[in-house]
Amino acid sequence: MLLACVGSFKDLLPIIIVVAFFQLLVLQRPMPNLLEVSLGLVLVVVGLTFFIFGLELGLFPIGESMAQAFARKGSVFWLLVFSFCLGFGTTIAEPALTAVAKEAALVAAKGGMILHNSESMQEYAYHLKATVAFSVGIALVLGVLRILKGWAIQNLIIGGYVLVVILTFFAPQEIIGIAYDSGGVTTSTITVPLVTALGVGLSSSIKGRNPMVDGFGLIAFASLMPMLFVMVFGMVVSQ
């Protein structure tokens, strides 16, 4: 455990050096609340250590084992249903998405897009989260089909970003930035480990598939699809 904590501290060391450099040498001010900051840093190191342990002991193995079990079962239907539910469930649970959705609802209310009351903002945030989660579910279904069929990932990604550019010209200006950010918040602490394990486990179980070539790329779909769906969501809400 001690060695793991040391490793986590080394991972955080660059950002610590950057903050200390600009605070002490550029701004030339002492670190505010040094005791609280130091305690927070210790908690971050410990939390990051336990998080990495959790990934190695739980999320990665269960994702790979379930993907391999579905591949052995030979049921494409249930594999796709599992992929959609995994994408939807993990995205709904993402703390980053919850924070962005709440902030987007507040800005939308201030901008006059929705009524400035608690009920309207909660409804807007809920629908935004559901839209993003649904899009990630669809993204994983598409990514799993790519692995099963052996489609070239670059063709799908290029085509998807062409659609993003096209929709940008038609979507309301107020939703475009949120849509682009939605692609980033979906690929966070909960979604990434399980989605990566799903792709690697599935490609390892299918004859003729290379985990290095076919096992990765699901995260790219999970980043791309929310942009499309959220811009469509904005077009619907603005009408």
Q: What does the pLDDT read at residue 1?
A: 63
Select from 123, 56, 138 the least CA-distant residue to 91. 138
**DSSP code string of 134-200:** HHHHHHHHHHHHHHHHT--HHHHHHHHHHHHHHHHTTS-HHHHHHHHHHHHHTSSTTHHHHHHHHHH
Q: Is 232 helix (H, G, I), strand (E, B) or coil?
A: helix
CB 225 within 8 A of CB 156: no
Let me know how long the chain is.
Answer: 239
Q: How far apart are CA 203 and CA 144, in angstroms?
A: 9
Q: Is this model's pTM higher than 0.85 or not?
A: no
Q: How far apart are CA 161 and CA 74, in angstroms?
A: 32
Q: Which residues contact 113 (CB under 8 A, 6 or more apart)?
A: 172, 174, 237, 238
Residue 56 has pLDDT above 90, yes or no: no
Give 189-232 pLDDT, tens digit per residue: 677 777 888 888 888 877 777 778 777 888 889 889 999 999 99
Q: What does the pLDDT read at residue 104?
A: 84
Q: Is 233 helix (H, G, I), strand (E, B) or coil?
A: helix
For 90, counting Cβ atoms within 10 Å of its Cβ (0-12 exposed, 13-18 middle, 19+ buried), the class is buried
Report CA-CA distances (Å) from 212 to 1, 18, 145, 186, 222: 31, 34, 17, 23, 18
Give 145-165 pLDDT, tens digit per residue: 998 888 888 999 999 999 999
Give 212-222 pLDDT, tens digit per residue: 877 788 888 98
Three-class DSSP labels, 65-132 = HHHHHHHHHCCHHHHHHHHHHHHHHHHHCCHHHHHHHHHHHHHHHHCCCCCCCHHHHHHHHHHHHHHH
**Enclosing H/E stretch for 59:** none
